[in-house]
Structure formats: C-alpha cells, structure tokens
Amino acid sequence: MDASRAGALLTVDLGAIRDNYRLLAGMNKGACAAVMKADAYGLGMEQVAPALALEGCKVFFTAHLDEGIRLRQLVPEDCAIYVLHGPPPGTSRDFFQYDLRPVLNDPAQLQEWRALARTLGRELAAAIQFDTGMSRMGIAPADLAALSARADWLEGVRPTLVMSHLACADEACHAMNEAQRRRFDELRALFPGVPASLANSSGIFLGPAYHYDLLRPGAALYGINPQPGNPNPLKQAVSLHARVVQVRSVRDGDVVGYGAHHAVSGERRIATVAVGYADGWFRSLSGRGFAFVDGVKVPVVGRVSMDSMGLDVTGIAPERVAPGAEVELMGASHTVDEVAALAGTIGYEVLTRLGSRFHRRYL
C-alpha cells in the first residue's frame, strides 16, 4: 500500500533479523536453521528468507506445503527446505517436484513417502519427527517401536534429520524439558549418524545439551524474547506507526468509543488513529494499550474499533499530533513482548496478526 495513503507504516529491520540470526547461530557448534512459517511470523518471507540466506542460513522450515513451494523460489537451490506438517495425503509428488523435504510425523506419512520412493526408484530425503511428550506432531514412541521392528521400515527414505519439539522451553525450570531431551536421546539412538534437532528459540537458551546439530529458531529471529522475565538479548525487528486521522477536544461528561465506556474527566484532547482490530491490533488493548509520541507514553482510551482507536494526547503539542502525523504503536519504545503482555497474549500472536493494510518498509 502506498505510504502516503496507508493508515499505518510497518517497518521491518532486516539488518536486525540478520544480527539476531548471527547471535543465535554463534551459540551452537552445529548449524542454525530459520523458521519461516506464517510468512516469516507475519514479517514477509519474500524479504526475510533471502536476507537470512545471505547471512549463511542453509536450512529453512515452513509449516505448509504451499509455503515451502513459495520459499523454493526465494532461496538458493542448495538450501534445504523442510515442511513441518509433512505431506497431506496425495501430495508427496509436489514435495519431490519442488525439492522440499517433508517432516514425517506419523506412520501414514512415512508410507506415503516410501510409496513415492518406490515409484520413482530412488531414495528420498526427509526429516523424521518424534513426539517426545507434547502430543502435537511426530511419531509416537509406541508407533516407532512397532515400525522399527521391521528391517525394511525406512526403505526408500534417506533420513537427513531427526527432530522433536519442546513444549515448555520458555520455562527453563520446567521438568518437561529434561524429560523430553532424554526421550529424544533414546529415540534418536535408532538413527546413528543422522543429524538431530530439538531446540526452538527458547530451547537454544536451555543450554548446549539442547543444541544437537541444528537449531530451529523462529521467534527470536524476529525479536521476541526467548526467555520471558529476563533481559532480551535479541534486537527488535519490527516497528509500527499509526497515522492520526482526526483530533478533538473533549471535556467532563463526554465519552469516547463504542459502549461509551470511557468517560472523560477534565479537558482532554483525543487523537483518533487509523489502526484497529482489523489490522491485528488487539481489541483487548481497549483502555489498556499505549502508543508513544517521541518517547512520551499516550494511553489508548475507549474501545479499539475495527479500523481506528482513540489516544489521549492531551500532553502532546498539537502540531505534533495533527492529522497525518505518525505515532508509534510498537518498536523501540514499546516492544512486541510488552504489547503482547498488555493484550493478554504472546509476541508470536502479535506478529502473525499484523495486518495487510499497512504500508511495509524494509530496512
């Protein structure tokens, strides 16, 4: 969307994302992948993936097949692309055609991949995922035991990665972490010599025992704090600035917004800015959220509407918040994690909901 017409400007700092990748990759003796699902957590896979490839990233993950197909055009041929959901029934040929590697999550997906290998008369690369306790995706230990009882169970499949996913990595003291790591060690013993991967962003910060051969960060690349409650070692990668549409003076007895829930006391000036819940700005920020004007905090007053919301800008010089002026909703003054905490959610949801009506700028 044209910058001068857009209600808000979203700035993605590709340099910060590259710096974050370097910091994370430097924590491991092995390799570091990048997770691109949901359009690189809402920031734009088209721009983010090539930037990370330039930074030396050779392994990428998407959730869906179509995300993988799109990503194939964006990164060099020698980059491996894994699709976390594996092949939906009947799609394994697409994986082959676009040089994508499925993450095989259950016996049916494994059979599907083996069948294609038989048809093509060649070995096909894939990751094998184990469920080590999250009960979301991956082959269950009992299924793995039954499968591996047959000598030819992997015929046609060349495992290039074994992996699992941590349920509680953002809680460093949670007993699940150690339990999952042990189960992972038991299961991967069936695959001697195959590279292993367990750590998402938060998992990386659980220490070297969780690193194995390949790190799999998503959130931390995009500036979300992988260790909630501790200082964030990553750089903010996103800022969001909303445009002022209109400014009005209100006084005692006036109310602001739907439901007439915010009653004004004294004389106040309210700026209506052009971002609302249809842009991914959470309605739960009604009466709780903040914007910043040159570092000065201004509160969201009244309910967040679909396309706009009110800010109390009484303390701000009128010419600074005239129609067309920009105020910061997220960025250096107000991190994605702070916005998420106020909205009652996590930074992941804030980023992945960022709207399609913003003008996007890449640094």
Ligand X SMILES: *Cc1c(COP(=O)(O)O)cnc(C)c1O
Of 37, 41, 82, 222, catalytic = 37
In a 3-state reduction of DSSP, which class is residue 215?
Answer: strand
CA 154, 156, 159, 165 torsion: positive or negative? negative
DSSP secondary structure code for residue 130 in this structure: B
| Longest pairwise C-alpha distance within the chain | 80
Q: Is 37 a catalytic residue?
A: yes
User: Which CB sits closer to ligand X, 80 or 219?
Assistant: 219
Strands 59-62, 214-215: pairing kind: unpaired
202 vs 236, which CB is nearer to ligand X? 202
- Give me the least distance between CB of 168 and ligand X, in Å please: 12
Residue 38 beta carbon to ligand X: minimum distance, rounded to whole angstroms = 9
Cα 304-309-311 angle, rounded to 5 deg: 120
60: helix, strand or coil: strand
**Which C-beta is closer to ligand X: that of 198 or that of 242?**
198
User: In the Cβ-directed half-sphere of 192, how many Cα atoms lie within 13 Å?
Assistant: 0
Taking the complex as a whole, the smallest distance from the CB of residue 88 to ligand X amounts, in Å, to 17
Question: If 0-12 CB within 10 Å is exposed, 13-18 middle and 19+ buried, where does residue 2 land?
Answer: exposed
What is the rounded radius of gyration, in angstroms, for the C-alpha atoms of the chain? 24
For ligand X, the nearest residue by Cβ is: 218
Nearest distance, CB of residue 351 and ligand X, angstroms:
10
Those residues whose C-beta lies under 8 Å from the C-beta of residue 132, and which sit 6 or more positions away, are: 138, 164, 165, 179, 180, 181, 183, 184, 187
C-beta separation of 261 from 255 below 8 A: yes
The residue among 188 and 216 lying less far from ligand X, judged by its C-beta, is 216
Q: Describe the crossing of helices 175-188 and 141-148 by its angle, rounded to 10 degrees.
A: 10
Residues near ligand X (CB under 6 A) are 35, 37, 84, 165, 200-202, 216-220
Known catalytic residue: 82? no
Give the shortest CB-17-to-ligand X separation in angstroms: 13
Rounded distance between C-alpha atoms, residue 213 and residue 195, angstroms: 6
Tokens 């195959």 locate to 194
In the complex with ligand X, the residue whose CB is nearer, 84 or 128, is: 84
**Of 58, 98, 235, 258, which is the active-site residue?**
258
Query: CB-wise, 165 or 241, nearer to ligand X?
Result: 165
Instruction: Please measure the distance between the N-terminal and C-terminal CA atoms of the chain and give it in whole angstroms.
Output: 17
Instruction: Rank residues 129 and 308 by Cβ distance to ligand X and give the closer one.
Output: 129
Measured in whole angstroms, the distance separating CA 8 from the mean position of its chain's CA atoms is: 21
For residues 210 and 51, give the distance between their C-alpha atoms in angstroms, rounded to a whole number.
26
Q: How far is the CB of 118 from ligand X (least distance, A)?
A: 28
List the structure tokens of 197: 């991967």
Q: Smallest distance, Å, CB 165 to ligand X? A: 4
**Catalytic residue ranges:** 37, 258
